[in-house]
Amino acid sequence: MSSFISLNIAVVTVSDTRTPDTDKSGVVLVDSLLSAGHKLYGKTIIKDDIYQLRAEVSALIADPAVQAILLTGGTGFTARDNTVTAISPLLDAPIEGFGELFRQLSYQEIGSSTIQSRAFAGLANGAIVFCVPGSPGACATAWNKIIREQLDSTHKPCNFTDKLRQG
């Protein structure tokens, strides 16, 4: 039987308007990962700017201590939703099933509005990157119904922990 491995996880909120006091989505992710027994590597709020976002996430991907990165925000279709454009080129291997499953689960909660979510994930340099919408509800759905199990080394039949670099 495998034992639980606590991962170093960074949380990045992508927003032009959120502050540490108003970042409810970031709080959902931080509280969730800590409750699951993981370690918070750091939490930042980055403007929805392609190059600032790419620079921040590139640094996290390059940091050997970071095993997972959770981004919230910037996955919609407005002119300021740049997460897909900024982060997709950084991924070595996209995880198509994440976005598909997220939208399926989200449909049960918000109906056809889920088609406006471009949630996605992938592996990059031994780290896993999850990009989810900026609402607290979307963060809770993604964490509770997908991410928590996939970052849990005891989850069977498989999870992503054996594909991540050692912290």
Residue 87 resides in a domain: yes
The pTM is what? 0.96
Tell me the pLDDT tens digit for each residue of 39-71: 999 999 999 999 999 999 999 999 999 999 999
Domain that holds residue 25: 8-162
Closest to 22 in 3D by CA, of 72, 84, 66, 70 = 72
Residue 1 resides in a domain: no
Q: Retrieve residue 137's tokens.
A: 């509800």
Task: Determine the residue type at 117.
Answer: S
Q: What is the CATH number of the domain that holds 86?
A: 3.40.980.10
Residue 113, Cβ density class (10 Å: 0-12 exposed, 13-18 middle, ≥19 buried): exposed
Widest distance between CA atoms in the chain: 48
Residue 94 resides in a domain: yes
Residue 167 resides in a domain: no
Tell me the pLDDT tens digit for each residue of 113-150: 999 999 999 999 999 999 999 999 999 999 999 999 99
Phi, psi of 10 (to 5 degrees): -100, 145
Residue 127 resides in a domain: yes
Number of domains in the chain: 1
CA 13 to mean position of chain CA atoms: 10
Residue 34 resides in a domain: yes
Return the sign of the alpha-carbon dihedral for residues 76, 68, 144, 27.
negative
